[in-house]
Structure 1
Amino acid sequence: MTNTQPAELTGFNPMVSPHRENPHLFYRWSRTEEPVAYSPALNAYMVTRYDDIKAIVEDPETFSSANAIPTMWTNPPEVLEALDGLLPEASTVVNADEPAHAPLRQVLNHAFSGRRVRRQLPAMKRRAHELINAFLPDGRADLVGRYSDPYVQLVVSLVFGIPPEDVDRVQAWTDDYMLLMNPLAPVEGKVEAALRLHDYQDYVARMAADRRENPREDFMSDLVHGSDHFPPASHEDLHYMFRGLRFAGHDTTRDLMTSALLLMLGDGRSLWEQAAADRTILPKIIEETLRRDAPHRGLMRVTTREAELDGITLPEGTALLLLFGSANRDETRFDHPDEVDLNRPNVREHLAFGSGIHQCPGSQLARTEVRVAIETLLDRLPALRLVDGYEPAYIASYFFRGLERLDITW
């Protein structure tokens, strides 16, 4: 292990350059030189090797998810003052260990079952056509703002039970919620976001009250009424699961879709032409996109006892950030990891959706959303291409890896 980190890699921060554009600069260096790297800004160790991350997620007794994720309540005093009156955060599948995890997972397995996903197929196709019809006369479009983002917002909102007329304001609140959990975001913006979340809490409470009287086939009704396999959620759990999982189901799917489209339209549109001729390769393209450009950077864990990782002694209570995006390009697991290989035999071993008991329950919905959206573009706009001079720029986000824009013409 070297003692001096190259200057361009110092202080890994995906919110700023050069890591915002290319986190793989740090990932590649870290896997070789410092696979368990301490970040003073996060007060956590960043773990970058596949085998280490896999071992951690499969040992929840030593590496706990409980209290591992930054919450709204770990913010500075002025933000906490603005949050005063909001319900405390309770448990959800992402930050719970067994035995608390299992019943929460059953709620999500029901909400994102194959039957529920198939039920949304007509809405996915209808929304995709509506959005294409809206920008078709323009001759060009940004597929982030005018296609992938509104498409995913509507689909995930339908699953949750949010009516179409409320999608935009719920998304605005969701952005506020995500901002409050970002340890690198400016305090001023967090105070404003905290004040707006009081309206979000009132909205969720009114929606839950409506479902008590008028149950439907949606996630909110699942939380309110339970089923034969799980009890109704407590008042606190209902609020936390609803708003926490609402943001988890949006950004990752949007970013997966646009990353897959960029992959297909780059390099002379080779993959786009292949998919136009043979739609059966789309699932392969989606999986290889998940591996190469994981839309979620990673999740946190906290040690429950002293542990050792790559020669580093980690005392009890040590925070770890598991960088799935790095694991997915680990040379010891994936041959030629930076290359695109649609026939990669072990592509399904990627960690883009996590692993172990916390593997993403919405992965089937995400894959289906992306496949339907791209198939519709192939049908409607077979001559689709990137605009001349397009250069990808990535959002400033602690949690997600996604494009700011995807400018196309046809």
Structure 2
Amino acid sequence: MSKHPEDFNPEAPETFDSPHVEYARLRRECPVAHTQGLGGFWALTKYEDVKTAASDYRRFSTSVQNVVPKVAFTGRRPPLHLDPPEHTPYRKALNPLLGKDRADALEEKARQYTREALAPLVAKGGGDICMEFSSFLPVRVFGEWMNMPPEWLETLHEAGRAFVLSVHMNDPETMKSTSMRLYDMAKALIAERRERPMDPAIDPTCALLEARHEGQALPDELVVGSVRQILVVGIVAPMVMVGNICVHLSRDRALQDQLRADPSLIPAAIEEFLRLYTPYRGFARTTTEDVEFQGRTIPQGDPIALLYCSANRDEDVFANPDEFILNRPNIAEHLAFGRGPHNCPGLHIGRMELRLCLEELLAVTPNGFAVTGEVTMSRWPEVGALSVPLTFL
């Protein structure tokens, strides 16, 4: 039996609001919590603690376990699975392709894809905004960014969703099999680029193949792992966030109408939605030495979940943290995209996708929309809606 107490149950059934109620309780009563669930781990719930652990890679390593539950059964996938300085050549290769200029260049195509993906729901007066819309759209935008052959996108959507669902179900065997399908896609894409190279200034795979560290090409198996990581990393969060936003706006019709009447408010609204409904909660680190938070010692070698979704509702940082406040004075402090060397490099594309989704959804629903069925919740490492039935009024 573990010497650590069971402070919370990460496998308990959840509703749309219950995770945030539970994390508020932990912040009050047990801000550094421990559980035997999902393999056993610690959880940091306070803003400053999460920010500290995310920023200090020397004491909090990502190379052992990077999410809860632990899912990396099939090899290391840079840059997320490496600490600096090993991870730096991968980020150096990819970061220029993920800047705001690249997001701006993608916007026209992304808006076209958004309208095309919404059209079937408009035609029938609604549908599942996650399963029928926001699970597909990021795959198309991502495929455009990756310069993937269009005929691969259906396979990527199916394989990526199968992997994500296996993680949610905490099914290790299915995680392995679906991850291997994504590895096969990564290997095929690398082979395609080796045979028909593209400009590394516009193609992520070629950028990784051309990257050098101390004069040497990056190891083949780690390039494969990096492409495999890229294949799903930008798909899940937008799907969950669109569902979360739609649930909130269905509950707050005045805000829905306000944003529809004045779309210039949407970028600011997206930032507050990201704070309020941060889609990831289980990014993890492993301690390289004994560390202390809030008077509690976490032993060397133990996994820690950095609960960004809890940190972003920390009462010590964000006033009235459970309320939506447009143009919140310190909104720039939210941690939805992380901190430190493993902050999300795709934040510009992510923000652009969410903005377009909300702009176009509001435009095609002049009479409003509402949730008219049961909301299905995602499980670790995400938090939020996985299925949201909407009716267009």
| TM-score when normalising by structure 2 | 0.89
Residue 280 of structure 1, CA deviation = 1.6
Match of 1:80 in 2: none
Match of 2:196 in 1: 214
SS in 1 for 2:257: helix
Query: Which amino acid is 1:277 matched to?
Result: A
Please say if residues 258 and 406 of structure 1, whose CA atoms lie closer than 8 Å, have aligned partners that are also in contact. Answer: no
Distance 1:276 1:12 in 2: 39
Residue 26 of structure 1, CA deviation = 1.7
Distance 1:56 1:146 in 2: 37
Please say if residues 255 and 402 of structure 1, whose CA atoms lie closer than 8 Å, have aligned partners that are also in contact. Answer: yes
1:230-249 matches, cutoff 5 A: 233-249=218-234
Residue 112 of structure 1, CA deviation = 1.0
Residue 287 of structure 1, CA deviation = 0.8
Deviation by residue 1:291-311 (Cα, 9 ceiling, x = unmatched): 111111131111111221111
Match of 2:36 in 1: 40
In the alignment, which of 11, 14, 17 is matched to residue 13 of structure 2?
A: 17
Residue 386 of structure 1, CA deviation = 0.6
Distance 2:216 2:105 in 1: 24
Cα distance change on mapping 1:391 and 1:229 into 2, 3 Å: farther
1:162-241 matches, cutoff 5 A: 162-178=148-164, 185-186=170-171, 190-216=172-198, 217-226=202-211, 233-241=218-226
Deviation by residue 1:239-271 (Cα, 9 ceiling, x = unmatched): 21122232220111122222223323322x212
Please say if residues 161 and 220 of structure 1, whose CA atoms lie closer than 8 Å, have aligned partners that are also in contact. Answer: no
Distance 1:356 1:212 in 2: 33
In the alignment, which of 89, 94, 99 is matched to residue 103 of structure 1?
A: 89
**Deviates most, 235-244 or 191-200:** 191-200
Query: Which amino acid is 1:60 matched to?
Result: Y
Query: Which amino acid is 1:409 matched to?
Result: F
Match of 1:160 in 2: 146
Query: Which amino acid is 1:202 matched to?
Result: D
Query: Which amino acid is 2:30 matched to?
Result: E
Distance 1:303 1:97 in 2: 13
Match of 1:142 in 2: 128
Deviation by residue 1:153-197 (Cα, 9 ceiling, x = unmatched): 211122123333222222332244446666x613xxx43453455
Residue 16 of structure 1, CA deviation = 3.8
Match of 2:240 in 1: 255
Distance 2:84 2:175 in 1: 32
Distance 2:245 2:365 in 1: 16
Residue 204 of structure 1, CA deviation = 2.2
Distance 1:159 1:351 in 2: 25
Match of 2:27 in 1: 31
Distance 1:229 1:219 in 2: 20
In the alignment, which of 53, 63, 88 is matched to residue 56 of structure 1?
A: 53
Query: Which amino acid is 1:226 matched to?
Result: A
Please say if residues 62 and 83 of structure 2, whose CA atoms lie closer than 8 Å, have aligned partners that are also in contact. Answer: yes
| Structure 1: tracts of 5 or more residues without a match | 74-87
Distance 2:122 2:180 in 1: 39
SS in 2 for 1:155: helix
Please say if residues 20 and 394 of structure 1, whose CA atoms lie closer than 8 Å, have aligned partners that are also in contact. Answer: yes
SS in 1 for 2:366: coil
Match of 1:72 in 2: 72
Match of 1:304 in 2: 288
Query: Which amino acid is 2:377 matched to?
Result: Y
Distance 1:166 1:336 in 2: 45
Cα distance change on mapping 1:335 and 1:222 into 2, 3 Å: same
Distance 2:8 2:183 in 1: 36
Please say if residues 107 and 222 of structure 1, whose CA atoms lie closer than 8 Å, have aligned partners that are also in contact. Answer: yes
Please say if residues 288 and 341 of structure 1, whose CA atoms lie closer than 8 Å, have aligned partners that are also in contact. Answer: yes
Cα distance change on mapping 1:377 and 1:195 into 2, 3 Å: closer
**Deviates most, 398-407 or 322-331:** 398-407
Distance 2:128 2:181 in 1: 31
**Deviates most, 390-399 or 311-320:** 390-399
SS in 2 for 1:93: coil
In the alignment, which of 324, 328, 349 is matched to residue 333 of structure 2?
A: 349
Distance 1:63 1:227 in 2: 26
SS in 2 for 1:141: strand
Cα distance change on mapping 1:271 and 1:67 into 2, 3 Å: same
Distance 2:212 2:366 in 1: 45
Distance 1:178 1:237 in 2: 22
Cα distance change on mapping 1:258 and 1:195 into 2, 3 Å: closer
Please say if residues 16 and 375 of structure 2, whose CA atoms lie closer than 8 Å, have aligned partners that are also in contact. Answer: no
SS in 2 for 1:46: strand
Distance 1:173 1:133 in 2: 24
Distance 2:299 2:217 in 1: 38
Cα distance change on mapping 1:154 and 1:196 into 2, 3 Å: same
| Structure 2: tracts of 5 or more residues without a match | none
Q: Number of residues paired by the alignment?
A: 382
1:316-395 matches, cutoff 5 A: 316-387=300-371, 389-395=372-378
SS in 2 for 1:120: helix
